[in-house]
Amino acid sequence: MKKETWKELPTGTVNIHAGNSVSNLTGTWRSGRRPEFIEKNCIQCFFCWLFCPHFAILVKDGKVTGINYDYCTGCGLCAEECPTKEKSIVMVKEEIKLAEGRKK
Amino acid sequence: MAVKLKDLAQMEDKLVAGHGMCLGCGIPLIFKMILRATEDPIVVANATGCLEVCTTIFPRTAWNCMWVHSAFENAAATAAGVEAMFKALKNKGKIPADKKIKFLAVGGDGGTYDIGIQSLSGAMERGHDIVYVCYDNNVYANTGGQRSSATPLGASATTSPAGSKSPGKVQKKKDLTKILVAHNIPYVAQASPHRWQDLYNKAKKAFEVEGPAFLNVLCLCPTEWKYDESQGIKLAQLAADTCAWPLYEVENGKYKINYKPKEKKPVLEWLKPQGRFRHLFKEENAWMLEAIQKEVDRDWEDLNKLAEISGA
């Protein structure tokens, strides 16, 4: 994100770029598990979209098409609330990559 | 007409991704629904709290609509002021007379039950055409989990900790919804994110009603309630099933219960999954569990009576 200088910034801490938080990728602090979308089981009930706190369910042309891992934090609400008999979203383990020099 | 999730999913988001809320947080689930309940442009006045802090980390903002930051105590006053200015400009002819804008004030339980109640009460009494939404997660989650007046009986919070001498919070939760009913405003409701249709309908009614409206919504908080974050929606369901958080609305003074569980579950089931109530299951605190059950039963009975009087 480009940092604005005082010449460009509007007076009085006004943010004129509505919705620019999309550059903040919350997926980078995922919990160590991530949901996997299985399309053939999906009945398009949109419960995963409804219960995703981080707006990480991809919807295209009125259909759930997958998960946006840029924002998914791996809370597991989508997999838990998926109503199909054979789950359309399952949680899988994922290795956490720590930043250089960080210990667990 | 019943609304479909598929259609809602294709509407434009007024709160977008990239906010810094905890995993499994209940706040976005609530506002995903509420912000979709109106098609008019919307102005949000946001009291300090989790939602405000997490969505607007400078220089970023997760709001895709007009948004004003307020201090803890004056979200309702801010919204009321904006609404009054809108009316004045309309009268002067600077804004077309048929222009419609909705005004939403938002606060957590700290900013509503405790610190903001004075300005909230004032705005409601003056009859501004605003909607106030309180997302009630029972605790000051943003500052580290201090108890608020919305913290339920027996819960352990950092300023009402459970220990050998203390069974958690010993005071009962304030019933803010009923306080707002006492303001004689056209619409007051209590909702929960797990029943999304109910929440959507209530938000729609609140926006459409002429005059002030108040929504009190239970908000899941895995960080402070200390439960497995994936179980959040099931927990909200339990809150409704045990009648610890009854879903009802009050329209022009008439009570209506929106959800009556087929079988009222013991309140234990709602308390058990949450770490903040863990100490209650020790032998010496058994009296507290009984007290909580008694309170919940009494409140539920009272509510049923009120609904009966209203003829619902």
- In this predicted complex, what is the ipTM? 0.90
**pLDDT over threshold 60, residue B282:** yes
Q: How far is CA B272 from CA B10, B163, B226, B278, in A?
A: 38, 18, 11, 7
The stretch B66-77 carries a mean pLDDT of 94
Which residues of chain A neighbour B58 with C-beta distances below 8 Å?
Answer: 13, 15
| CB nearest B23 (choices: A23, A31, A81) | A31
Q: Which residues does A contribute to its contact with B (CB < 8 Å)? A: 1, 3-4, 13, 15, 17-26, 31, 44-47, 49-56, 59, 62, 68, 70-71, 73-77, 79-81, 91
Q: Do B21 and A13 touch (CB under 8 A)?
A: no
The stretch B258-285 carries a mean pLDDT of 94
Q: Dump pLDDT digits (tens) for B85-137.
A: 999 999 999 999 999 999 999 999 999 999 999 999 999 999 999 999 999 99
Of the residues B11, B19, B44, B237, the best mutation for testing chain A's interface (the one with the most A CB atoms within 10 Å of its CB) is: B19
| CB nearest A46 (choices: B9, B27, B28) | B9
Which residues of chain A neighbour B62 with C-beta distances below 8 Å?
Answer: 19, 21
The pLDDT confidence band at residue B305, using thresholds 50, 70 and 90, is very high
Which residues of chain B neighbour A45 with C-beta distances below 8 Å?
Answer: 5
Residues whose CB falls within 8 Å of the CB of residue B146, separated by 6 or more in sequence, listed in order: B139, B140, B157, B158, B159
Which residues of chain A neighbour B18 with C-beta distances below 8 Å?
Answer: 21-26, 71
The pLDDT confidence band at residue A7, using thresholds 50, 70 and 90, is confident
d(CA B272, CA B287) in angstroms, rounded, equals 16
Q: Which pLDDT value is given to residue A12?
A: 82
Of the residues A4, A21, A75, the best mutation for testing chain B's interface (the one with the most B CB atoms within 10 Å of its CB) is: A21
Q: Do A31 and B10 touch (CB under 8 A)?
A: no
The pLDDT confidence band at residue B255, using thresholds 50, 70 and 90, is very high
The pLDDT confidence band at residue A15, using thresholds 50, 70 and 90, is confident
Counting residues of chain B whose pLDDT is more than 70, the rounded percentage is 99
Q: Which pLDDT value is given to residue A31?
A: 85
Q: Which pLDDT value is given to residue B168?
A: 92
The stretch B57-67 carries a mean pLDDT of 91
Residues whose CB falls within 8 Å of the CB of residue B265, separated by 6 or more in sequence, listed in order: B238, B241, B242
How would CATH label the architecture of A24-93?
A: 2-Layer Sandwich (3.30)
Q: How far is A97 from chain B (nearest CA, A)?
A: 18
Q: Which pLDDT value is given to residue B220?
A: 94
Domains and CATH numbers, chain B: 5-309 (3.40.50.970)
Q: How far is A71 from chain B (nearest CA, A)?
A: 7
**pLDDT over threshold 80, residue A101:** no
Counting residues of chain A whose pLDDT is more than 90, the rounded percentage is 61
d(CA B286, CA B42) in angstroms, rounded, equals 48
d(CA B234, CA B228) in angstroms, rounded, equals 11
Burial A71-81 (b: 16+ CB within 10 A, else e): bbbbbbbbbbb
| CB nearest B233 (choices: A24, A31, A51) | A51
Q: Average pLDDT of chain B?
A: 94
Q: Dump pLDDT digits (tens) for A19-43.
A: 899 999 998 888 889 999 999 999 9
**pLDDT over threshold 80, residue A102:** no
Residues whose CB falls within 8 Å of the CB of residue B169, separated by 6 or more in sequence, listed in order: B147, B151, B152, B153, B154, B155, B156, B157, B160
Q: Which pLDDT value is given to residue A5?
A: 86
Contact in structure between B297 and B264 (CB atoms under 8 Å): no
Between A55 and A100, the more confident residue is A55
Residue ranges per domain, chain A?
Answer: 24-93
Which residues of chain A neighbour B237 with C-beta distances below 8 Å?
Answer: none
The pLDDT confidence band at residue A77, using thresholds 50, 70 and 90, is very high
Q: Dump pLDDT digits (tens) for B176-186.
A: 999 999 999 99
The pLDDT confidence band at residue A99, using thresholds 50, 70 and 90, is low
Of the residues A15, A46, A47, A77, the best mutation for testing chain B's interface (the one with the most B CB atoms within 10 Å of its CB) is: A77
B44, with CB counted inside 10 A (0-12, 13-18, 19+), is: buried
**pLDDT over threshold 60, residue A84:** yes
Q: Do B24 and A49 touch (CB under 8 A)?
A: no
Q: Do A49 and B13 touch (CB under 8 A)?
A: no
Q: Do A53 and B60 touch (CB under 8 A)?
A: no
Contact in structure between A19 and A62 (CB atoms under 8 Å): no
Q: Which pLDDT value is given to residue A86?
A: 93
SS3 B292: helix
Residue at token pair 């087929």? B262
Between A96 and B206, the more confident residue is B206
| CB nearest A55 (choices: B6, B17, B26) | B17
d(CA B90, CA B209) in angstroms, rounded, equals 19
The pLDDT confidence band at residue A98, using thresholds 50, 70 and 90, is low
B158 alpha-carbon distance from chain centroid: 22
**pLDDT over threshold 70, residue B159:** yes
**pLDDT over threshold 90, residue B59:** no
Q: Which pLDDT value is given to residue B276?
A: 94
**pLDDT over threshold 70, residue B1:** no
The pLDDT confidence band at residue A16, using thresholds 50, 70 and 90, is confident
Q: Do A75 and B60 touch (CB under 8 A)?
A: no
| CB nearest A21 (choices: B27, B29, B61) | B61
Q: Do A18 and B5 touch (CB under 8 A)?
A: no
Q: Which pLDDT value is given to residue A13?
A: 80
| CB nearest B16 (choices: A19, A70, A76) | A19
